[in-house]
Structures are given as C-alpha cells and as structure tokens.
Amino acid sequence: MSVIIQITNTTINYVAIGLMIFIILFSVGMVVFFLLSRKRITLADLDVRDIKIKAQEDVLAATLLTQDRERTRVARELHDEISAKLNVISLNASLLNDKTLEHQDRELLLARIQTATRKTLENTRRLAHDLLPPVLEKFGLGQAITEFVDSIHNGQLLITYTCDWDEETLTTEDQLHTYRIVQELFNNSIKYSEATQIELSLITAVNRRMTYRDNGIGFQETGSVGLGTSNINSRVFILGGIMTLETSINNGVFYIFDFQTNAPMTYD
C-alpha cells in the first residue's frame, strides 16, 4: 500500500514539475512574442515616420526651389527690364547737357526719356503686383481672385467663381499662398488642358474648402509631379491643408483642398 502511495506522489510531483515547466515556457514564449510584436510595430511606426519626414523634405525642397525660381525671375526683371531702361534714361539725360544740341535733337532725347520712364514705371508696377497684388493687400483674397479671373476671362473660356470665406480669419500670408494656388491652377488649365470651362469655389462648411474643376484633357496620374503641381503641394502643406485630385485622360481635373477652420492657418 505504501508503495502505491509513493508512486502516486511521484507521479503528482512529475505532473506538477511538468506543469510548471509548461507555464514557464509559455510565459517565456508570450514575452518573446510580445517583444517581437513590439519590434514589428516599432519598425512599422519608424517606416511611417520616415515616409512623413521624406514627404516633408520633398515639400520643403520644392518650396525652396520655388522661392529660388521666383528670386531669379525678379532679379532678371530688375536687371533686364528696369535696370536697362534706367541706363537709357541716364544716358539720354546726360546728352541733354550738351549745349550744342539743336532743338529737334533735344526734343527727341526728351521723348526717349519719357518713353523709357513710362515703360520702367509699368514694369515696376507689374513686378510689385506679381510679388503682392495691391487688391489682395487692400481688399482681400476674394476681390484679388475676382480681379485675376476678370483679367483672363474671354469668349472662349467660361469661368464660374464663388467665394464665401471669412477673410478676417486669414493672415496676409495665408491669403497670398491661396491666391498663388489659384494662379497655378488656372495657369495649368490655360497652358495644358485645353479647357473651355473652369469652376472655382471657396466655401465654408465643416472645414474651409476650395474646389477647382476644368473640362480639359486631364492627365494620367503618376508618381512623379511637375513643378506646377509641386508648387501647389508646397503651399497646401504650408497652409496645413489636404489636397485631393481626381483626373484621367479626357476627363478634366477636379481638385479639392480642405483646410481646418477651428484654428487660423499659419505660415512656418
């Protein structure tokens, strides 16, 4: 009888030891599984972060490229147009000091000076308008876009434009970036899309939203983007917005820009 009890106790001990070993191995396995899962999650988070950082770097690079191109254009305008005409004015003004000049020659020099001065003023106003449209500064985004639309409206292009944004919530920088986006959209349609109809709406619902549609030839979306689209992306990023584009061959383009209304957009 004692032998049977001893065997039973031994069996129980073995079962207990086996159960303990199983629990330990199971616990170790769960810890390893948890650590591996955390590692995979961490790596996935790092990949997402790297993608976001890369996107931000691309937008920043595009923004800097846009700024450099704009500075180059302004410098060229100053040198080729304004500076050159000022040199003409200076040269002709110096010739007027010649006491031996006949009246007819003096009148011709004065006419040249007046012409060069008028063209210089026109170029200066145009350059200043490109940098910051006076209407935008004085009357706001809605009027600035209205003036821009009126300047390109013709019998071959039907443009529908509406705006109900509260411009008081927007800084001058916000309005200027939005204005540049609109300019880029219209320029793309006029240059490349062969569109005959364009619709632009700036509406306020849950978010501040801008939509743009044309009936042009559209294009096939690819991973690469042109400079115009890159400029738009850069400004949308600066404004803290989201851009959605729907397009395909022969189906025009449809852009949706969403900006948060619960906080003013800021320029970084």
* 126 shares its domain with 164: no
What's the confidence (pLDDT) of residue 55?
Answer: 62
* 88 shares its domain with 174: no
The tens place of each residue's pLDDT in the chain, 268 residues long, gives: 555 555 566 666 666 777 788 788 777 777 777 777 777 777 776 777 767 676 666 666 665 566 666 666 677 777 777 888 888 888 888 888 888 888 888 888 888 888 888 888 888 777 777 777 888 888 999 999 999 998 887 778 899 999 999 888 888 889 989 999 999 999 889 888 889 999 999 998 778 899 999 999 987 655 444 555 777 888 898 888 999 999 888 889 999 999 976 444 443 4
* 230 shares its domain with 155: yes
* Cβ atoms within 10 Å of 258's Cβ, excluding its own: 17
Q: Rounded CA gap, 76 and 248, in Å?
A: 37
Q: Rounded CA gap, 116 and 91, in Å?
A: 11
pTM of the model: 0.60
CB of 89 within 8 A of CB of 124?
no
What's the confidence (pLDDT) of residue 57?
Answer: 63
Indicate whether 192 belongs to any domain: yes
Q: Rounded CA gap, 243 and 211, in Å?
A: 10
Final residue belonging to a domain, choices 102, 131, 160: 131
* 154 shares its domain with 101: no
Chain segment 120-174, per-residue pLDDT in tens: 888 877 777 777 788 888 899 999 999 999 888 777 889 999 999 988 888 888 9
Type of residue at 175: Q
Indicate whether 264 belongs to any domain: no
* 209 shares its domain with 241: yes
The enclosing domain of 149 has a CATH number of 3.30.565.10
* 111 shares its domain with 139: no
What's the confidence (pLDDT) of residue 161?
Answer: 95
Q: Report the Cα 15 to chain-centroid distance in Å.
A: 70
Final residue belonging to a domain, choices 80, 115, 131: 131
Final residue belonging to a domain, choices 93, 111, 131: 131
Q: Rounded CA gap, 56 and 23, in Å?
A: 49
What's the confidence (pLDDT) of residue 223?
Answer: 46
- Number of domains the chain is built from: 2
Indicate whether 111 belongs to any domain: yes
DSSP string, 239-266: TT-EEEEEE-TTS-EEEEEEE-SSS---
Burial 104-135 (b: 16+ CB within 10 A, else e): eeeeebeebbeebeeebeebeeeeeeeeebeb
In order of 93, 95, 103, 105, 110, the CA distances from 100 in angstroms are 15, 10, 9, 10, 16
Indicate whether 266 belongs to any domain: no
Type of residue at 29: G
* 109 shares its domain with 164: no
Structure tokens at 7: 């065997």
* 88 shares its domain with 141: no
What's the confidence (pLDDT) of residue 51?
Answer: 72
What's the confidence (pLDDT) of residue 50?
Answer: 67
Indicate whether 268 belongs to any domain: no
Q: Rounded CA gap, 120 and 79, in Å?
A: 12
Indicate whether 59 belongs to any domain: yes
* 68 shares its domain with 151: no
> According to DSSP H, which parts of 141-264 are helical?
141-152, 172-188, 227-238
* 159 shares its domain with 118: no
* 124 shares its domain with 191: no
What's the confidence (pLDDT) of residue 268?
Answer: 40
Domain span including residue 228 = 134-259
Indicate whether 68 belongs to any domain: yes
Indicate whether 239 belongs to any domain: yes
* 168 shares its domain with 238: yes
What's the confidence (pLDDT) of residue 9?
Answer: 63
* Cβ atoms within 10 Å of 172's Cβ, excluding its own: 14
